Amino acid sequence: MNQYTVLVVDDDKEIRDGIEIYLRNEGLIVFKAQDGIEALEIINEQEVHLILLDVMMPRMDGISATFKIREQKNIPIIILSAKSEDTDKILGLQVGADDYITKPFNPLELIARVKSQLRRYVTLGQFDRKNKTIDLNGLTIDQEAKEVAVNGERVKLTPIEYKIVELLMVNAGRVFSISDIYERVWNEPCYNAENTVAVHIRKIREKIEIDPKNPRYLKVVWGIGYKMEK
């Protein structure tokens, strides 16, 4: 993984430097920024494959920075939250983050999450595909380009959102439970992941559905899970 780059964004220099040591030991190239504004400057100048982004920072916080990044790029973002409450985590996911980890974190867990996100971002995915393009009544996915479109208009999805849509479209009509979706997309055991999956499903609906409250494509099967309508 030595050709991949990670941007570490935190206003605490000791935390930035500590994370850098862990990442460099894994052969990763590391950029560092002390706030959201500096992070945006680096992203525009350098090729970045993943971002570790603190929430509480001066000038521009992590939530605002995530929102700005998602306006133009689909780089995986892992939120670093100093709070144990779900508020920051859910808010981060709502504006486009792909994952979160709470401080103080276990370095091994951090590295595992970084590697997991990088694998999803830089490969075409692990799903068994017979076709490169799938069309479901105007909802189209190009698996080679990793692009989703609705009636010909491209929809900007985060890497996690794309993987959820791909899983459901490749298996259109099949119902997946929340734990099935989490384990297949996040590639880790599902522990209390209901909020995480629900937030991503809601964001996907806002992007692909004309009326998210009355979805045409991404359907809920009450008490069981979700499916993509054929």
Strands (E), 55-208: 77-81, 99-102, 133-136, 139-142, 147-150, 153-155
Q: What is the pTM of this model?
A: 0.61
Residues 143 and 129 sit within 8 Å (Cβ to Cβ): yes
Question: Are 142 and 113 in a shared domain?
Answer: no
| Residue 106 Cα to chain centre, angstroms | 20
Whole-Å CA distances, 137 to 45, 88, 93, 152, 160? 39, 36, 28, 11, 23
Which of 96, 122, 148 terminates a domain? The answer is 122
For residue 125, pLDDT beyond 80 = no
Give me 36's structure tokens: 């959201």
Tell me whether residue 3 is exposed, middle or buried, using C-beta atoms within 10 angstroms of its C-beta: 0 to 12, 13 to 18, 19 or more: exposed
The pLDDT score that the predictor gives to residue 84 is 62
Out of 4-8, 71-75, 181-185, least confident range: 71-75
Question: Are 90 and 172 in a shared domain?
Answer: no
128 is a domain residue: no
Which of 91, 122, 153 terminates a domain? The answer is 122
Question: Are 56 and 158 in a shared domain?
Answer: no
Query: Cα(169)–Cα(137) distance, rounded to whole angstroms?
Result: 11
CATH of the domain at 197: 1.10.10.10
Question: What is the residue whose two structure tokens read 């069309």?
Answer: 135
Query: Dihedral angle at the C-alpha atoms of 131, 162, 40, 67, nearest 10 degrees?
Result: 150
CATH of the domain at 10: 3.40.50.2300
Q: What is the mean pLDDT of the chain?
A: 87
Span 139-170, pLDDT tens digits: 999 887 889 999 989 999 999 999 999 999 98
**Which residue range forms the structural domain that includes residue 51?**
5-122
180 is a domain residue: yes
Residues 178 and 221 sit within 8 Å (Cβ to Cβ): no
Question: How long is the chain?
Answer: 230
For residue 86, pLDDT beyond 80 = no
- Cα separation of the two ends of the chain: 38
The pLDDT score that the predictor gives to residue 131 is 52
Question: Are 112 and 65 in a shared domain?
Answer: yes
Spell 54-67 as b/e; 16+ CB within 10 A means b: bbebeebbbbebbb
For residue 175, pLDDT beyond 60 = yes
Please give the backbone phi and psi of residue 156, each rounded to the nearest 5 degrees, phi first.
-85, 110
For residue 1, pLDDT beyond 70 = no
52 is a domain residue: yes
The pLDDT score that the predictor gives to residue 130 is 44
The pLDDT score that the predictor gives to residue 124 is 42
142 is a domain residue: yes
Question: Are 68 and 156 in a shared domain?
Answer: no
**If DSSP codes are grouped into helix, strand and coil, which group holds residue 52?**
strand
Question: Are 112 and 155 in a shared domain?
Answer: no
Question: Are 164 and 113 in a shared domain?
Answer: no
Count of domains forming the chain: 2
For residue 19, pLDDT beyond 80 = yes
The pLDDT score that the predictor gives to residue 123 is 61
Span 25-34, pLDDT tens digits: 999 999 999 9
